[in-house]
Amino acid sequence: MAGVMTQVPRAERQRILEHIDFKEGQVLSRDLPKDTVLKHLILRLSGAVQTTYASGTPIANAESTFDSIISRIDVKINGGTTVKSVRPHLMHVQQLFSTLIQAERKAQAKAAAGIIPNPTTEGGFVYGTTGQFTEVAETVLVSFQNVYAKRYNHTQFGPESTWLNLKQVSSATVELSCGNFKSLQNEATSSVAVTYGPANHTFKVHIQTVEAQDVPANFNFTIWKQTTREVTFSGPVTDYAIDINKGNRLQGIMLFAKDGSNNKLASNLLIKDVALVLNGQTTIKKSRFLDLQADNRSRFGVDAKFAGGVSRLDGVAYLDFLQDGDISSALEVMQPLVDNVQLVLSLHGNGDVPNLFDTGKSASITIETQELILPR
């Protein structure tokens, strides 16, 4: 009929993919649909496991169950090109920075596991009395939509400019690097021998997509690439330089520090100061770590309260290179102007902070680098 407009369903869409059963010590993957444009992946770990031990009191790591038993989440396209390689704990922090809402993180010890695990107590993994089951429910949001970006009239770069178009890729997968149940236990209680079983634990990761299916296949987006590495230290250092990826635009660097004590705890005092330096001489940003943490709280409006002396932001700080959320202002680190990019750290020692390093133990710093790869 003349004058009738063609209706295009532009609404956001979601679908459920086949879940992944957790298997210790394996890298498990699931294919992603190639008929869509991805905004987010929602990964939800749920299930129960029985723990038994003869004596002592095991204590779990403070971060989360997901982070303890699945060390990395990777999203790859075209046979191996990495778009995301992220740590679950830092995805929880990212959600807190961008939405001011903490991700789902619940665990509860029970005499018997329910058919559908539904713990009601907020927090990481907990050990009950020997023979009890621990139910877990945790969600990690992996975003392709740039959660740090704001929309400006003068630029085409808004949050949606980094959606992931899968309509022209040869392959697309999400991969989970699974550790083992023993990784749940804090090193301070490693002498307590815990058995996790029976073997038919019910841990699985449910996968849900959030999509913009109606974007044309030939539409080119900027890729928001996030990659993660860990650096260890056996003692204090001064102006220790770590090479950072170059060749694209640098949006931000997230740091997560854990001390070198027997307890291996998230530490706000390990890093003394941090800087980003180009070509060995031009300092882009330099800050004391505690000052940077305070800046993050005020800049993002985060109120991560302490419970039992622990905050979700312990050990975390974010170097943001965007001007007020404008991703067109990301730091250009390409040749010929930039030959090297270095993160420069100085760490405190036991003389500054007692028991920061115990004999034979190492501190660790997780470094998440965020790059913007513009369409070619």
Task: Give the residue carrying structure tokens 């619940």.
Answer: 106
pLDDT of residue 89: 98
Pairing of strands 240-243, 105-110: unpaired
pLDDT of residue 12: 94
pLDDT of residue 338: 96
pLDDT of residue 230: 98
Q: Please write the tens of the pLDDT for every residue from 197-249.
A: 877 789 999 999 999 999 999 999 999 999 999 999 999 999 999 999 999 99
pLDDT of residue 201: 86
pLDDT of residue 6: 43
What is the SS3 assignment for 214? coil
pLDDT of residue 190: 84
pLDDT of residue 178: 98
pLDDT of residue 5: 37
Domains of the chain, CATH where assigned: 10-221 (2.70.9.30), 222-376 (2.60.120.20)
> Taking phi first (over 0 means left), then psi (-120 to 50 degrees means alpha), and beta for anything else, what does residue 233 get?
beta
Question: CB pairs under 8 A, 24+ apart, for 292-296?
Answer: 292/317, 292/318, 292/319, 293/268, 293/317, 296/97
Q: Please write the tens of the pLDDT for every residue from 95-129.
A: 999 999 999 999 999 999 988 998 999 999 999 99
Residue among 228, 251, 272, 216 nearest 325 (CA): 251
pTM score of the predicted model: 0.94
pLDDT beneath 50, residues of the chain: 1-7
Task: Give the residue carrying structure tokens 């990395």.
Answer: 72
pLDDT of residue 208: 99
pLDDT of residue 9: 62
Neighbouring-strand partners of residue 52: 195
